[in-house]
Amino acid sequence: MTNKLYLLTILLSLLLSSCGSNNKSKSNTPIQLQEANQLFTQIEDANKSFKLQEKEFVHTLFLSEYLWSDQVASNIDYSEFSTPNSLLKELRVTPPDKWSFSITAQAYENFANQKTEGFGFGYTAEFIIFLIRIDAPAYGKLLRGDKILEINGEPASRSNLIKAKNTIGIPTRFTVLRESTEVQIDVTPQAYTFKVSLGKIITQNSKKIGYLRYDSFTGSSVTEFEKEFTKFKNENIDELVIDLRYNSGGSIAVASTLLENITNAYPGQRQGYLDWNSKYKHKNENFYFSTETEPNDLNMKRVFFLVTKSSASASELVISSLKPYLGNANIITIGTNTHGKNVGMRGRSYNNNYYFIINFFVKNNIGETTSFDGIPATCPATDDITHAMGDTNETMLSTALYYIENDRCL
């Protein structure tokens, strides 16, 4: 399937929920990206024209296509809601739905095409950098584990960071604590296109291990990760480690393509299916392994996944879909329980807004779906933000490498 509006994503809802908060999530997984404020502004500006007809349209979606439509209130006072997301929050059935959201068309297109502006890093409540987007302005300058002390000579704060990132084209001087030394780094915020895939070959004794960092299932990412799989294929790797620790989802079609790159041993067989509510069973849809083998398709017998509570949706879909074919024992997850989002959305548009409401369960070929508690970790391991992703000394990756060598957890 190729419809880019079929999504298994919580990335943008996580970005939005982090705005205005300097707290860590309950799982202690940092999810605050500094670009979130720009997205939030775009959405709120568009919401000034949130009219009655659009509210009725949204309510009708919830009463019909929504997975839990039978639990939605049929009578509500539309005058109480001035923005799309405030209405969605009221209509969502919680628990379990904490994901349905709205976004402007422009913000969605930017996300789908991996475009944004700013510095390109994520930070914790203590202003410790945990993620730097590949090819963002901060990439290669700031490092995971850097603690921001000052921004242009002023104490690190969320407001100072927002002010700096909005000065597009003007360098910002960061004073950071790197290990035990204070260093000053200049980064210029700008509009940029980022990557979400980065691969490398790790040699361990006689084995070649392919490592893939993969941050989001965007349509633009397919050419990225297929280049990495071509390298893996040419090097004839023995093992595969896919780092999904911050990958909160994206396109089902892209997830299906990733599955085909991992193994070409099951041509034409069903990877899984989308299971709609009782009134919309006619929309149920299967997704399959391709019947055509591509030059970069591997035939892995087992796969290691690095995961955290931020690994969700399409990330969980890939893990779940492989289990009936490779067997539970050959799908090794390293880290913590995943997020627990076993449902997906079909995007619908109205005026300048896209609406992503939960429409279906996502199930693998034998009808299993991920628990709302997430996929348990085979081997517990902490997200070691003192090392770069892909560094063999980083705790999660080193745990996977230990398992490869010893067939057991640390």
Query: How does pLDDT run across 112-122, given as a tens digit for each residue?
Result: 788 899 999 99
Model confidence pLDDT, tens digit, residues 233-287: 999 999 999 999 999 999 999 999 999 999 999 999 999 999 999 999 999 999 9
N-terminal to C-terminal alpha carbon distance within the chain? 40
- pLDDT tens digits for range 90-136: 999 999 999 999 999 888 888 778 889 999 999 999 999 999 999 99
How would you write 137-200 as a 3-class SS string? Answer: CCCCCCCCCCEEEEECCEECCHHHHHHHHCCCCCCEEEEEEECCEEEEEEECCEEEECECEEEE
pLDDT on residue 77: 97
Q: Which CATH superfamily is domain 115-193 in?
A: PDZ domain (2.30.42.10)
Asked whether the beta carbons of 360 and 67 are under 8 A apart, the reply is yes
Question: Helices 11-18 and 105-112: crossing angle, nearest 10°?
Answer: 120
Phi, psi of 134 (to 5 degrees): -65, 125
Q: What is the DSSP letter of 376?
A: P
Token pair for residue 78? 């539309």
Q: Which two tokens stand for residue 321?
A: 């879909």
Measure Cα distances from 102 to 45, 77, 79, 229 in Å. Answer: 13, 19, 18, 34
Same fold, 115-193 and 197-273+280-341+362-405: no
In the CATH hierarchy, which fold is given to the domain comprising 197-273+280-341+362-405?
2-enoyl-CoA Hydratase; Chain A, domain 1 (3.90.226)
Mean pLDDT by 10 residues, the chain (410 residues): 37 31 31 36 55 97 98 96 96 95 88 88 95 96 98 97 96 97 98 96 97 95 97 98 96 96 98 97 97 95 98 97 98 98 94 95 97 97 97 98 97
Closest CA to 191 of 146, 268, 135, 253: 135
Alpha carbon distance 228, 305 (integer Å): 16
Sheet of 197-204: strand order equals 197-204, 207-214, 239-243, 303-307, 331-335, 379-380
pTM here is 0.89
- Name the strand (E) or helix (H) holding 13: helix 11-18
Question: Domain residues of the chain, as ranges?
Answer: 115-193, 197-273+280-341+362-405
